[in-house]
Amino acid sequence: MTGSDSPQEERDGGRPIAESCVVCGGRSRRLFAAHGYVILGCEGCGHRHTTPVHDSDHVARVYGDDYFFAGGAGYADYLREADLLKARGAGYARNLRRHVGVGSILDVGAAAGFVLEGFFSEGWKGRGVEPNARMCALANERLGPVAEVGTLESLETTERFDLVSMIQVVAHFPDPRRALAKAAQLTRPGGFWLIETWDRDSWTARAFGRHWHEYSPPSVLQWFSRSGLRALAKSLGFEEVAWGRPRRWIELGHARSLLEHKLGGGALRHVLLPLRLVPISSRVPYPGDDLFWALFRDSRSGSPLQTSEPRT
Q: If you write DSSP's letter for every residue of 215-273 in order, what string do you get?
A: --TTT--EE--HHHHHHHHHHTTEEEEEEE----EEEHHHHHHHHHHHHTTSGGGGGGG
Cα–Cα nearest to 116, from 86, 152, 136, 149: 86
Contact 275, 252 (CB under 8 A): yes
Domain spans of the chain, in order of start: 8-52, 77-252+285-298
Neighbours of 309 (CB within 10 A): 7
Please check the confidence at residue 237 and state whether its pLDDT lies above 80: yes
Least confident of 1-10, 227-236, 279-288: 1-10
Share of the chain above pLDDT 90, in %: 63
Rounded distance between C-alpha atoms, residue 4 and residue 6, angstroms: 7
- Using one digit for the tens of pLDDT, what is the confidence trace for 244-286? 998 876 765 555 565 565 555 554 455 544 545 444 556 667 7
- Please give the radius of gyration of the chain, using alpha carbons only, rounded to the nearest integer: 19
Q: If you write DSSP's letter for every residue of 89-149 in order, what string do you get?
A: HHHHHHHTHHHH-S-EEEEET-TTSHHHHHHHHTT-EEEEEES-HHHHHHHHHHHSS-EEE
State the pLDDT at residue 20.
85
SS3 per-residue string spanning 148-172: EECCCCCCCCCCCEEEEEEECCHHH
- Using one digit for the tens of pLDDT, what is the confidence trace for 215-229? 999 999 999 999 999
Q: Given pLDDT bands bounded at 50, 70 and 90, which one contains residue 14?
A: very low
State the pLDDT at residue 305.
44
| Mean per-residue pLDDT of the chain | 84
For CA atoms 228, 229, 233, 236, give the dihedral sign: positive
Residue 243 CA: distances (Å) to CA of 96, 150, 310: 10, 28, 5
Q: If you write DSSP's letter for every residue of 25-69 in order, what string do you get?
A: --EEEEEEEETTEEEEEETTT--EEESPP--TTHHHHHTSHHHHH
CA atoms within 13 Å, Cβ hemisphere of 299: 16
- Confirm or reject CATH 3.40.50.150 for domain 77-252+285-298, answering yes or no: yes
State the pLDDT at residue 187.
97
Average pLDDT rounded to a whole number, residues 145-149: 96
State the pLDDT at residue 49.
95
